[in-house]
Structure 1
Amino acid sequence: MGERTEGEIRIGELIGRATQAWADNDAAAYAAEFAEDSDYVAFDGTLLRGRKANRELHAGLFDGVLFGTRLEGEIESIRFVTDDIAVVHGTGAVVFAWQREASKGRRSRNTWVLHRTAGGWEVTAFHNTRVRPVPSGGLIVDLFSRYVRWRTDRARAN
């Protein structure tokens, strides 16, 4: 248990460094938390392969549409698959400099896969997706559900 507690502390520190690097708009420091051959899936579905691609994309974003932004969020859970591999689930959002807090539409849920190396923990894979619950009930949902059933029945009949 002590080792896992230590691992949780180190993983929290890694995510803290990544968050600070984002607030500093420092693409190199942000990407440094990721493995050289890491995979990174952004909220829009963009897939980056490797630390270099991560650094290049974020450098452009920090110079442009993400200039002056910071991240807010929290770690929801850390699960150790082995002593050296952990899966972290968290929430996050990009906050613009003029905002006190992130708007609801910017909330994301993310998954981090981390691997412990001789040099410490690093992010092997990261996946970020917007929180967009599927609506339930209401006239629009009911009409769309009927349309889906009608189209499916037609497709199956052919």
Structure 2
Amino acid sequence: MTSSNTDPVNDERAVRAVLDGIYAAWAGNDADAFVAAYADDATATMPGGFLGSKQAIHATMAAGFAGPLKGSRGVVDVRNVRFVGSDTAVVNATSATVMAGEAEPPAGQWAMDTWTLSRADGPWRVDAYHTCPTAAN
């Protein structure tokens, strides 16, 4: 439930803008910009891995952008933005990685993502990210 002193339309735009910024940073292979909107204690859970801080997420993305993810970009389709109170948002999305030289992600490479964002005394921040593979688009 959203409190009466918030603007749900602008809040949703702001939350979506955070994700847009993350995916723009990925397209630029810029690990600093990629984690700019992450909270210091943010977590990321992916198949086979758990990253327990903004620093760990940054290190992983920097290594990826210098290596196997060089020239790649992520694509995302936000399916739902739901507010839990006035300062927490849960986002459900599908995403995929488009590797360098590819125009589109390969079939069957889409994932289901859940993002949790909050704002406490400032802008919206990513607190947690979880992704798991799916065959659904």
Q: TM-score, length-normalised on structure 1?
A: 0.79
CA distance in 2, matches of 1:45, 1:125: 16
Q: Distance in 1 between matches of 2:39 and 2:48?
A: 20
The one of 107, 111, 116 equivalent to 1:113 is: 116
**Structure 2: gaps of 5 or more residues:** none
Contact 2:77–2:94 (CA<8 Å) still a contact in 1?
Answer: yes
Any idea what the Cα deviations from partners look like across 1:73-101, whole Å, max 9, x if unmatched?
Answer: 21000010111001000010000121111
1:24 aligns with 2:28: yes
Structure 1 runs, 4 residues or longer, greater than 4 Å off: none
RMSD in angstroms over aligned alpha carbons?
1.4
Q: Name the count of aligned residue pairs.
A: 132
Q: How does 1:107-146 map to 2 (within 5 A)?
A: 107-132=110-135
AA of the residue aligned to 1:126 = Y
How far apart, CA to CA, are the structure 2 residues paired with 1:92 and 1:86?
A: 18
Structure 2 counterpart SS, 1:25: coil
Query: Separation in 1 of the partners of 2:48 and 2:89?
Result: 23
Instruction: State the AA in 2 paired with 1:29.
Output: A
2:51 aligned with 1:37, yes or no?
Answer: no
Match of 1:5 in 2: 9
Instruction: Spell out, residue by residue over 1:14-56, the C-alpha distance to the aligned partner (whole angstroms, 9 max, x if none).
Output: 00000000001111111112110011112x2310011100000
How far apart in 1 are the matches of 2:108 and 2:39?
30
**In structure 2, the residue corresponding to 1:19 is in which secondary structure?**
helix
User: Equivalent of 1:53, from 53, 56, 79?
Assistant: 56
**Higher relative contact order (CA closer than 8 Å, sequence separation 6+):** 2
* SS of aligned partner of 1:82: coil
Q: Which residues of structure 1 form unaligned runs of 5+?
A: 134-158
CA distance in 2, matches of 1:59, 1:105: 26
Deviations 1:80-127 (A, max 9, x none): 011100100001000012111111232111000000122210000000
- The counterpart of 1:97, out of the listed 96, 100, 113, is 100
Q: Which has the larger radius of gyration?
A: 1
Contact 2:109 2:135 in 1 (8 A): no
